[in-house]
């Protein structure tokens, strides 16, 4: 059986669709694709887990520029946007606790090839700020759902998003370039972008390099009523990828890559709503900020991987270093401006000594930095053995920092002196993790096998607060260390092949998220704990994958149940102090379905649907959560339908037509019982119903495309930015109707 499957891989030359399971071929059939979700190259139809994979070509076809764009095409995935790429919360299978989770680490991991990137803890607000890679020159994005702790370690309780980069071709020279321009409703000028790539063999079949880059200029479409400015959310985004591949021998390959991306937004994309009606307060695409609210993010990733064939096993060693810097500014005049007034916090509060008034202006500046070194090695047995195994070791070290600054101004924007500074807080933290893992698969026969795996991790944390100044500051604090904590996670699965093209599987897997704090960090008088324990999930999953009708139809479906214990979440003291704590339990139940049907050589239909019921099963008093409350940012129902049609004119040209519909159910951004005055209540967001269209022409070397996103100008929102003022909450809108034209040329 395994030998037949390996022979089947030889003929794979396909493009993954948005459903993640198919690719069209010239004979009107669909063929399997290869993924690395289990750190082996294998057919997607053979992976005993729910995985969606979308190729870079398909991402470009769907006009996907960020994870928010991708979310509704992948069942089980939801992204709560924060107003700019890289400011987002990724939600898989409903696991989330708050729209603005600044006190805990992420629940979904982010990988670039074999390199884990981003912050594992709250040191640089890892749950909210992370890599959101522009997908140009990405080979594919794999979304792996359910806990992946055995192979991928911490922060994969909900799963992970894995960017697989394009690799150089050793034999063929190739180059391509493209331009695009688009107009968005409400914008004063067009947006535009350009991209290009070149693949250059230096020594045929031995050494090659691939270099690519892109630049995107977004004109913006949001106005600011308070400042009287227009298109304030204009932005630029740029990046590049350089990869060197050296096939030293038939048994040894070395690959090195440098990846960069820079985002510079003049203002976060946000709309001010009426807190009582949740309708736009000043206009459909109008914010009301007394200060500009810029956002910047810079990403740098350097990696080297070595693959060696040792006959009895394949040795893979991956080494990488990444840096992610983020900075934003927000208008926090409400509530912080009132802190200048005497008695505004509590009786006896003196307020600002120079300006003791309640009408001070107060912007908030946040700067986050995280650098991370990762080393992993693996030994994997050949795939054609009855007993297959994988052994590995892992090490990661993170250094992160956070700086918060709240100055004050008079109503006429005159800076107030240092004595009226509300806060300047600087904190530094470190996180180290070491792990060993092992997986084994035993084939009883050519149809049935079982697998099991375990990973043991030990992590340690430390932190300092060298500065905490201003009226709200508490002074510097000494460095503290959390003792080393050990965590074990495991996985077990069974797989039964009905035939070469259909499989049933069952899987149980666990995952965890590191805790934090220190023994002396808490405040017993306020009930704030010093140490937050790790939380964990256990995922029970059963699924089916198959290809039918001469491979014209492919289906991938899964049903799951997740138990979530010792939940880490934002909690609030009666005095209004936000802290991280463990509280309660939750479950998530649901199913996911992806399907594709190739009607003819020219016509293809893709569909996805996901249902998730994620809710608390115990009260979470510190977060005002009650048993039965829906988990924040977790839509019950998501779905998409896309169709593609290519009409051949002759042997060289094809006219292209396509349409897509994507839906996301209503969500809440806080637990239903959260008081609106303190944390924004549930702050619901209504459903999304978005239609996209495109047409174009494909020739031998040139492809032209005319597209329209959000054709019917659906007025919905994709995230809640922040509720600093409950009367004027700020939401992130879905981009209004956008019409664009793109041209791509291949040399």
Structure-token match 């994969």, residue found: 156
- What φ, ψ does residue 573 adopt, rounded to 5°? -80, 165
What is the C-alpha separation between 405 and 366, in angstroms, rounded? 7
What is the C-alpha separation between 377 and 392, in angstroms, rounded? 5
Helix, strand or coil, per DSSP, at residue 233: coil
CA 184 to chain centroid: 25
User: Is the pLDDT confidence value at 625 over 70?
Assistant: yes
Task: Put residue 86 in one of left, alpha, beta given phi > 0 → left and psi -120 to 50 → alpha.
Answer: left
Q: Which two tokens stand for residue 702?
A: 């040139």
CA 424 to chain centroid: 30
Q: What is the pLDDT of residue 575?
A: 54
Say which DSSP state 528 is in: B
Using an 8 Å Cβ cutoff, are 336 and 351 in contact?
no
Helix, strand or coil, per DSSP, at residue 524: helix
**Mean pLDDT for all residues in the chain:** 90
Task: Find the domain containing 256 and state its range.
Answer: 2-746
Q: Which two tokens stand for residue 627?
A: 């048993």
Q: Which residues pair with 78 in a beta bridge?
A: 91
- What φ, ψ does residue 506 adopt, rounded to 5°? -135, 145
Confidence of residue 574 (pLDDT cuts 50, 70, 90): low
- For residue range 455-477, what is the model confidence (pLDDT) as tens digits? 999 999 998 889 999 998 888 88
How many domains does the chain fold into? 1
Q: What is the pLDDT of residue 32?
A: 74
Distances (CA, A) of 471 to 314, 416, 425, 439, 567: 59, 13, 11, 54, 33
Using an 8 Å Cβ cutoff, are 500 and 8 in contact?
yes
Q: How many CB atoms lie within 10 A of CB 574?
A: 8
Confidence of residue 98 (pLDDT cuts 50, 70, 90): confident
Confidence of residue 61 (pLDDT cuts 50, 70, 90): confident
Distances (CA, A) of 4 to 14, 59, 450: 19, 31, 19
- For residue range 197-207, what is the model confidence (pLDDT) as tens digits? 999 999 999 99
Cis peptide, bond prior to residue 335, ω within 30 of zero: yes
Q: What is the pLDDT of residue 21?
A: 37
- C-alpha torsion 517→523→528→531, nearest 10: 20
Q: Which residues pair with 644 in a beta bridge?
A: 604, 658
Is the Cα torsion angle 74, 75, 81, 86 positive or negative in sign? negative
Which is higher by pLDDT, 530 or 696? Answer: 696
Burial 651-672 (b: 16+ CB within 10 A, else e): eeebebebbbbbbbbebbbbbb
What is the C-alpha separation between 503 and 555, in angstroms, rounded? 11
Using an 8 Å Cβ cutoff, are 329 and 286 in contact?
no
User: Is the pLDDT confidence value at 343 over 80?
Assistant: yes
Q: What is the CATH number of the domain that holds 172?
A: 2.40.170.20
SS3 content of the chain, % helix, strand, coil (to 5): 5, 55, 40
Pairing of β 654-664 and β 51-55: unpaired
User: Is the pLDDT confidence value at 23 over 50?
Assistant: no
What number of residues does the chain have?
747
Distances (CA, A) of 610 to 31, 74, 662: 24, 8, 12
Q: What is the pLDDT of residue 55?
A: 83
Q: What is the pLDDT of residue 584?
A: 85
User: Is the pLDDT confidence value at 2 over 70?
Assistant: no
- Whole-model pTM: value is 0.93
Calculate what percentage of the chain has a pLDDT beyond 90. 76
Q: Which two tokens stand for residue 487?
A: 């965590």
- What φ, ψ does residue 45 adopt, rounded to 5°? -65, -15
User: Is the pLDDT confidence value at 16 over 50?
Assistant: no
């Amino acid at each position: 059986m395994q030998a037949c499957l390996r022979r089947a891989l030889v003929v794979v030359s396909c493009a993954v669709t948005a459903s993640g399971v198919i690719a069209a071929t010239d004979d009107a059939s669909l063929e399997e694709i290869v993924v690395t979700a289990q750190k082996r190259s294998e057919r997607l139809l053979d992976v005993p887990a729910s995985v969606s994979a979308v190729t870079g070509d398909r991402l470009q076809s769907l006009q996907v520029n960020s994870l928010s764009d991708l979310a509704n095409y992948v069942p089980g995935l939801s992204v709560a946007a924060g107003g700019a790429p890289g400011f987002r919360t990724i939600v898989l299978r409903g696991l989330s606790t708050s729209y603005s989770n600044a006190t805990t680490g992420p629940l979904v991991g982010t990988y670039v090839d074999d390199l884990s990137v981003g912050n594992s803890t709250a040191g640089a607000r890892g749950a909210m700020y992370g890599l959101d890679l522009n997908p140009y020159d990405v080979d594919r994005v794999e979304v792996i759902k359910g806990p992946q702790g055995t192979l991928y370690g911490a922060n994969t309780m909900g799963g992970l998003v894995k960017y697989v980069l394009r690799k150089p071709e050793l034999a063929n020279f190739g180059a391509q370039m493209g331009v695009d321009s688009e107009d968005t409703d409400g914008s004063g000028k067009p947006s535009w972008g350009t991209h290009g790539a070149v693949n250059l063999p230096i020594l045929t079949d031995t050494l090659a390099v691939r270099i690519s880059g892109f630049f995107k200029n977004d004109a913006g479409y949001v106005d600011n009523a308070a400042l009287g400015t227009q298109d304030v959310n204009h932005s630029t985004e740029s990046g590049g990828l350089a990869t060197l591949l050296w096939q030293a021998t038939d048994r040894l390959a070395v690959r090195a890559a440098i990846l960069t991306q820079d985002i510079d937004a003049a203002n976060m994309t946000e709309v001010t709503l009426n807190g009582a009606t949740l309708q736009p307060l000043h206009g459909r695409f109008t914010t009301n900020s007394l200060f500009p609210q810029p956002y910047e993010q810079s990403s740098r990733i350097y990696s080297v991987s070595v693959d060696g064939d040792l006959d009895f096993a394949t040795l893979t060693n991956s080494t990488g270093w990444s840096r992610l810097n983020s900075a934003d500014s927000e208008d926090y005049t409400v509530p912080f401006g009132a802190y200048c007034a005497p008695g505004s916090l509590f009786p006896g509060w003196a307020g600002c000594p120079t300006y003791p008034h309640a009408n001070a202006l107060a912007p908030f500046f946040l700067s986050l930095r995280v650098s991370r070194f990762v080393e992993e090695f693996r030994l994997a047995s050949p795939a054609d053995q009855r007993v297959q195994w994988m052994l590995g070791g892992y090490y990661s070290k993170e250094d992160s920092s956070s700086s918060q600054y709240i100055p004050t101004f008079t109503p006429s924007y005159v800076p107030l002196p240092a004595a009226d500074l509300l806060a300047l807080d600087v904190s530094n933290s470190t996180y180290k993790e070491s792990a060993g893992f092992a997986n084994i698969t035993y084939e009883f026969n050519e149809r049935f096998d079982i697998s099991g795996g375990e990973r043991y991790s030990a992590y340690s944390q430390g932190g300092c607060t060298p500065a905490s100044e201003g009226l709200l500051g508490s002074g510097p604090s000494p460095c503290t260390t959390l003792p080393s904590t050990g965590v074990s996670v495991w996985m077990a699965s069974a797989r039964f092949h009905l035939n070469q093209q259909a499989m049933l599987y069952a899987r149980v897997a666990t995952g965890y998220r590191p805790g934090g704090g220190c023994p002396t960090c808490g405040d017993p008088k306020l009930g704030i704990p010093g140490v937050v324990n790790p939380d964990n999930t256990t995922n029970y999953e059963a699924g089916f994958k198959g290809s039918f009708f001469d491979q014209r139809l492919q289906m991938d479906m899964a049903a799951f149940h997740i138990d979530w214990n010792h939940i880490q979440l934002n909690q609030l003291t009666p005095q209004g102090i936000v802290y991280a704590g463990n509280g309660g339990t939750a479950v998530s139940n649901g199913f996911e379905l992806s399907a594709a049907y190739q009607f003819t050589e020219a016509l293809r239909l893709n569909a996805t649907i996901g249902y998730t019921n994620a809710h608390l099963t115990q009260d979470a008093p510190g977060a005002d959560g009650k048993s039965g409350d829906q988990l924040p940012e977790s839509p019950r129902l998501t779905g998409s339908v896309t169709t593609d049609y290519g009409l051949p004119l002759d042997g060289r040209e094809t006219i292209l037509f396509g349409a897509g519909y994507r839906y996301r159910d209503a969500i809440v951004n806080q637990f239903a019982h959260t008081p609106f005055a303190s944390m924004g209540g549930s702050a619901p967001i209504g459903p999304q119903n978005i239609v996209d269209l495109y047409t174009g022409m494909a020739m031998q070397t040139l492809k032209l495309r005319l597209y329209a996103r959000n054709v019917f100008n659906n007025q919905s929102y994709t995230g809640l930015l922040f509720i600093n003022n409950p009367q004027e909450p700020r939401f992130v809108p879905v981009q209004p109707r956008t019409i664009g034209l793109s041209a791509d040329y291949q040399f």
